[in-house]
Structure formats: C-alpha cells, structure tokens
Amino acid sequence: MSPKISDEVKEQRKQQILGAAEQVFIRTGYELATMKNIVEEANMSRGWIYLYFQTKEEIFEALIAKYDQENERIFSELMANSSSIWAALEMLLAEQKKSMMTIEKSLASAYYEYFLSGYRDKDRRLRLIRHYETALSNIIRLLESGIAKGEFHPTLPTELIGKIITSNLEGIMTLSMAVGAEQAEAAAQIDALIPYFKMLLGVSEESS
C-alpha cells in the first residue's frame, strides 16, 4: 500500500506543475504547447501530472483562475489604498501600460491567444464572456465608487463608460500582442485616452 500524500504536498506538486506550465506557455504560446513540454519542464513523471490535470487546457484554465484571483486582490488593494478613485484608475492604467510592454515575455500573450484562437469553441467562448464580464464589473465597481464619493460626474451611463474603457484597453492589448507594443504605440495610446476618460467621467479638479 502506497503512503498517503498530505494536502500540503499535493498543493506543492500542483503549484510545481502550474509553474512549469506557465514557463512553457510563455515560451511557446498556447497552441504550440504540449503536455510533453509541460512534463519535461516540471521534471515530474507523466503519471503524476495526470493525477492533477488531464489536458493542457485544464492546466491553462487553472492558471487563468489563479491569475484572476491575484488580479482581484490587486484591484481591491488599489481601491482601498489609493488617495482617490481617479488615482486608482490612473494606477490601473499605468499597470496596463507595463503589461503591454512586456506582453511577449508574460502569460498574457498565451492568454489572448487562447481566447482569440478558440472563440468559435462554445466552452472557450463562454470563458471569454466571463473574462470580459469580470473585467467590466471591476471597472464599473471603481466608477460607482468614484460617483458615490463625489469624484465623478459621468457624462454617459456608467455601464457604457465602463464598456468604453474596457474595450479600449482590451483592444490595445490585443494589438500589442499581434504587432508588438512599440509598433502599436501602446503606452502613447493609453496616455492619449486619459483626458478622454477624464472628460467622460466629469472628474472634479480636487480628484485629478
């Protein structure tokens, strides 16, 4: 009878697999990555890995869930610790600029590849919709907080402004993946959008 493995060891092995898979996806992208690549990168037997995940898609979904949780934590901390809601939005845009400039060396490139190449697949399309709704709901939560605090006086419905911000950021990120952040002038595009967002939100002088 084989010895029991503690929950702590199981979690360590799971994180080892996810860490190895992340490196593979960053290096090869989503479509070209294989379970064989992940097995070799993790330096674990194929049998051990299949105890946790059956396909590379399961592994990638676990990575997406992990990063969604981390992004939610960062977003909440940003709202709680910023001097104003507008400052929180500016910091969020600054983080987006950093992400775009390093997209080819991060999981973000595989992330967008996964969704864009599989948008016709019903299950993957549902995940894409959930990803969009999560991003949008976070932006709307931020905007509503700014309205409640008297910082924002929106010139359009809040949900529409949230969609405009989300669509612009997602579009620039996708273009950065396709042609590179420098050629897309991703940072300059975001900087140019800031006055537009400020106008849409009717940001008070005290907040900006």
d(CA 168, CA 172): 6
CA angle, 149 then 153 then 86, to 5°: 60
Quote the pLDDT of residue 194: 96
Asked whether 138 and 174 are in contact (CB, 8 A), the reply is no
d(CA 105, CA 26): 6
Quote the pLDDT of residue 1: 44
Average pLDDT, the chain: 89
Instruction: Quickly state the pLDDT bin for 206 (edges 50, 70, 90).
Output: low
Asked whether 5 and 48 are in contact (CB, 8 A), the reply is no
Q: Which CATH superfamily is 1-54 part of?
A: Homeodomain-like (1.10.10.60)
Give residues with Cβ within 8 angstroms of 35, minimum separation 6.
46, 49, 55, 56
Q: What is the pLDDT of residues 68-88, one digit of tens each?
A: 888 888 888 888 888 999 999
d(CA 100, CA 184): 10
Coil vs helix vs strand at 151 = coil
Give me the architecture of the 60-201 domain, per CATH: Orthogonal Bundle (1.10)
Quote the pLDDT of residue 142: 94
Give residues with Cβ within 8 angstroms of 189, minimum separation 6.
172
d(CA 77, CA 71): 10
Q: What are the respective helix, strand and coil percentages of the chain, to the nearest 5? A: 80, 0, 20
Q: What is the pLDDT of residues 134-146, one digit of tens each?
A: 889 999 999 999 9
Domain spans, the chain: 1-54, 60-201
Count of residues in the chain: 208
Give residues with Cβ within 8 angstroms of 55, minimum separation 6.
35
Quote the pLDDT of residue 205: 63
